[in-house]
Amino acid sequence: MDWILPPGASTFAGEIDGIYYLILGITGLAFVIVEAALIIFLIKYRNRPGRKAYYTHGSMKAEVIRTAVPAVVVVMIGILSGGVWDRIKGRDSIPAGAYPLAVHGSQFEWNVTYPGPDGTLGTTDDFSKRNQLHIPVNTPIRVRLTAEDVIHSFFIPAFRIKQDAVPGMEIDLWFEPTQTGEYELACAELCGLGHYRMRAAVTVHTAEGFGRWMTDESQTVAQN
C-alpha cells in the first residue's frame, strides 16, 4: 500500500512531509525489526518433541536498553516536530504583510471574504464569494477563520493545512502556495448532513493573474 504522500503545493509541504518521512523511516525500521523477531521466534522456538523452554524471569539490563532507546528516539522526534509546529501554527508565526482573507464556514459552505483592490480587510471594497478561494502564488496568505453554527475544519490537503473553525472563536492561520493550479478545500470536521459536500474550489493564480482576477471581480461587485 502506498506510503508516499501526494504532491504538496505549499511551503509547509517540505517540512511536514520531511517529518513524516523521518517518522516513516524510524517506525518502518522498528516495524521490520519487531515483526521479524516475532516471526523468527515463532519458528525457531516452536514446540518440538523433547524441547524445553529456557526458564528465566527476564533481564533488567536488556530492559533498560530497550526502554532507553525508544524513549530517546520519540523525544527527538518530538523536539524536531515542535520546531515545525511553531513555524506553522505558532501564535507569532504569521509573516508580516501576508495577504489577508476571511473565511467563514457554515452549514454547508465556505464564504471567502476578499480585501478588494485596496488589500485591506474591513473596508468598503471588500467582497465575498461562496466556495471559491482565489490566491496568488508564492505569497503568504493569512486567513481569519470563523464559523457560523457548528465546528467545521478548513482543510486543503495539497497545502498541508488544516484548522478547525469554531463558532464563537476567531482563529488565524497562514500558508504560502508554491504552485499555480486548481486545488480543493474540504471540511474535515463532521458538521451535519451536508458535511460531505462542503467543498470549495481553490485557484492559485500567478501574481498578474490574481491581479486581473481581483480587478474583474471588484468591477463586477461594484456594478451590482
Exposure of 129 by Cβ count < 10 A (0-12 exposed, 13-18 middle, 19+ buried)?
middle
Residues 6+ apart with CB under 8 A from 50: none
Q: Residue 131 phi/psi, 5° resolution?
A: 60, 30
Q: How far is the CB of 130 from another protein (least distance, A)?
A: 16
Of the candidate residues 14, 25, 71, 97, the single one contacting another protein (CB under 8 A): 71
Q: Select from 118-126, 192-200, 205-213, 214-222 the region that touches another protein (CB under 8 A).
A: 192-200
Stretch 161-180 residues interacting with another protein (CB under 8 A) = 161-169, 171
Q: At what angle do helices 60-89 and 11-44 cross, to 10 degrees?
A: 160
Q: Select from 76-84, 115-123, 130-138, 203-211 the region that touches another protein (CB under 8 A).
A: 76-84
Of the candidate residues 46, 61, 122, 130, the single one contacting another protein (CB under 8 A): 46
Give whichever of 61 and 124 is closer to another protein, judged by the CB atom. 61
Q: How far is the CB of 50 from another protein (least distance, A)?
A: 10
Give whichever of 19 and 98 is closer to another protein, judged by the CB atom. 19
Q: Select from 88-96, 109-117, 132-140, 206-214 the region that touches another protein (CB under 8 A).
A: 88-96
Confirm if 15 and 81 have CB atoms less than 8 A apart: no
Stretch 16-35 residues interacting with another protein (CB under 8 A) = 16, 19-20, 23-24, 26-27, 30-31, 34-35
Q: Select from 89-97, 120-128, 129-137, 207-215 the region that touches another protein (CB under 8 A).
A: 89-97
Which one, of 90, 95, 86, lies nearest residue 139 by Cα? 95
Exposure of 120 by Cβ count < 10 A (0-12 exposed, 13-18 middle, 19+ buried)?
exposed
Residues 6+ apart with CB under 8 A from 13: 7, 158, 159, 160, 178
